[in-house]
Amino acid sequence: MRSTATASQSTPAPAPAAGDAPLEARQLTADRAAQLYSQLPAGIVASVVLIVVAVYALRGSNYTWVVYGWSAVALAVTAVRAVLGWLYQRDRDRDDKAERWIRWLAVGALASGTLWGVLASLFFELQNDLEHLFILMVLGGVLVGGIAMYAASWSIYAVYGAPVVLPFTYGLMTHELELLRVFSPLVPMFYAACVGVAYRLNTLFLSGFRARRSFRKLNTEYVILNQRLERQLEELAQSHQQVEESGRKLALFVERSPVAVFELDPRGRALHVNPAAEALFGYAGNELDGHAIADLLFSPERRPDVLANWRTLLRDRAPITRLRETTPRRDGQNIVCEWSLTPLVNAQGRVISVIAQVRDVTQQLEAERLKQEFTSTLSHELRTPLTAILGALQLVNSGALGSASPEIQELTAVAERNGQRLLDLINDLLDLEKVESGKLAVELQAMRLDELVHEALTLNRAFAARYKVHLEAAGRLCDSLVRVDRRRMLQVLTNLVSNAAKFSPEGAVVEVTLEERGRQVRLAVHDRGAGIPAAFRSRVFTRFSQADMSLTREKGGTGLGLAICKRMVELMGGRIGFDDREGGGTTFWIDLPKDA
């Protein structure tokens, strides 16, 4: 199913375990590098400003050239640090190489700190108080400013600050003025305090990092969850729409269907009734809703049978089709309906409801009855005059009443033959009508088919002789017992044998074989006729079909014989068919189950 597939696709890759230390350390380093390098531009600007101010402040002293030289080196170092920052920003893999970038930054910090330390050591050479004050301010400024720059790493700050303060402290300690010597421990103390602040800031940075990280993780999970939720909502909306659409379609089908449709609960109560059902039984929908259909629509006499069928349906959970029941309408009129019941079974195999489709077949049955009555009457009305016509002609042709002229004999023979054809047609029509309306009763009895075959051959020899065709049993006929209706089986055999004779060339032999094939007996009639044309093969067993209608006139026959044979054979539990015969001609066969 589509939605399941999508759902499994949307499952995120497993999130990194919370205690994935190396990864966290790498992320921490990368974050630290990013933090440090983000402060670098401000540091560089501050350095350049300080260098320029220093040159300006100290240009009049007796160390002007030393200051110039220092500033050149200081600008070069600053430029290198700027390039370092630029390279860092350009590096796509900077997060993976964060440690190296931090090392380079530390080197830069050391170099920059050393430069400021060198500048501070000029303090002892200068004579001017203002210049002294300036140096002290620069010293304090770079130490305090460094804290902001290197807050992400207290160790880099320590590396940076040490070369700033150490030469100056040494200078103070060894100075000839006692005040300065006494003052000297204050500088390293100040440095230590600054490192302490940097350390605290570093801790803050770390907890900030962890908070950011947790937040990022949460955020990522939230985003994934959100996306998944969105997708599921979308799918749900789509499914909902599909269900709604098919529901609408179904409702439309049911509402507009000319067939009455009920949805019934397992206790047989109407859950839903369509307009056709209301119209068919003459009830308003609300009179049917919630009521047991068996009580409402069936007479008390029919109810036990109806309920038995219902129980079968619930037990077998299989559809029941074309169940005919006479039902009183609300207005008291009886109608005959054909019910098709289809259980709706859930995944647990329980019947949740039953769809009943009901078709009114009253008129259809009435039409069938009228047709039968008509056929029956017609056959009688036709047969009575035919009896007189054929009887009279047969008497004349028998010669029992004296002989007529050859022309008269010829004409009465034509009249008799055609009268007989008419009779055959009526008989065939009646048979077919009986078979198709289910009125043809077969009385099955166990008998030897070979004896029946011999009888059929004897009966039809005279007929075959008219076409100069000989009928014979080929080989030994097996003597298996089959269950057939004697009269009907003889009719089928006569039909097949006389057909074979009619369509055989003069002088040919029609052979009949009978052999066992496992649990079946195969009876086959083989002719040497022209065979059955390809275009006609599918219609051989349908009514009024002869391959060539001109043959109907030439050979007689109604085109109903094989249609009747097929239905009769099927009524007796057999199968009929035909094959091309090797060497020309056709074999018609009948398979019948052996009597157990």
**403 touches another protein (CB under 8 A):** no
546-551 long-range Cβ contacts below 8 angstroms, 24+ apart: 551/503
Burial pattern 373-412, b for ≥16 Cβ within 10 A else e, equals eebeeebeebbeebeebbeebeebbeeeeeeeeeeeeeeb
Candidate list 79, 271, 395, 549; residue touching another protein; CB under 8 A: 395
**Which residue's CB is nearer to another protein, number 5 or number 400?**
400
Candidates 37-45, 207-215, 309-317, 391-399: pick the segment binding another protein (CB under 8 A).
Answer: 391-399
**437 touches another protein (CB under 8 A):** no
Query: What percentage of the chain's residues is helix, strand, coil (to nearest 5)?
Result: 65, 15, 25
**What is the C-alpha end-to-end distance of the chain, expressed in Å?**
51
CA distance 236 to 248: 18
521 and 574 in contact (C-beta within 8 Å)? no
Candidates 7-15, 275-283, 378-386, 458-466: pick the segment binding another protein (CB under 8 A).
Answer: 378-386
CB of residue 406 to another protein, shortest distance in Å:
20
CB of residue 384 to another protein, shortest distance in Å:
6
Q: Residue 196 CA to chain centroid, in angstroms? A: 69
Candidates 27-35, 114-122, 197-205, 393-401: pick the segment binding another protein (CB under 8 A).
Answer: 393-401
Candidate list 4, 11, 207, 398; residue touching another protein; CB under 8 A: 398
306 and 354 in contact (C-beta within 8 Å)? no
Please report, for residues 123, 451, 460, 467, 529, the alpha-carbon distance to residue 457 in angstroms, rounded to integers and kept in the order given: 146, 10, 5, 15, 18
Q: CA torsion sign, 548 to 553 to 554 to 555?
A: positive
**384 touches another protein (CB under 8 A):** yes
SS3 of residue 317 by DSSP: coil
**392 touches another protein (CB under 8 A):** yes
**388 touches another protein (CB under 8 A):** yes
**Which residue's CB is nearer to another protein, number 243 or number 414?**
414
**394 touches another protein (CB under 8 A):** yes
CB of residue 325 to another protein, shortest distance in Å:
25
**292 touches another protein (CB under 8 A):** no
CA distance 262 to 511: 59
Candidate list 401, 413, 414, 465; residue touching another protein; CB under 8 A: 401
**462 touches another protein (CB under 8 A):** no
Candidate list 21, 347, 400, 535; residue touching another protein; CB under 8 A: 400
CA distance 188 to 265: 94
Phi, psi of 524, deg, nearest 5: -135, 140
> What string marks each residue from 516 to 545 as x (binds another protein by CB under 8 A) or -?
------------------------------
**373 touches another protein (CB under 8 A):** no
Query: Beta-carbon neighbour count of residue 331 at 10 Å?
Result: 7
CB of residue 423 to another protein, shortest distance in Å:
6
CB of residue 389 to another protein, shortest distance in Å:
8
Candidate list 7, 386, 444, 447; residue touching another protein; CB under 8 A: 386
Footprint of another protein (CB under 8 A): 376, 379-380, 383-384, 386-388, 390-392, 394-395, 398, 400-401, 423, 439, 441, 443
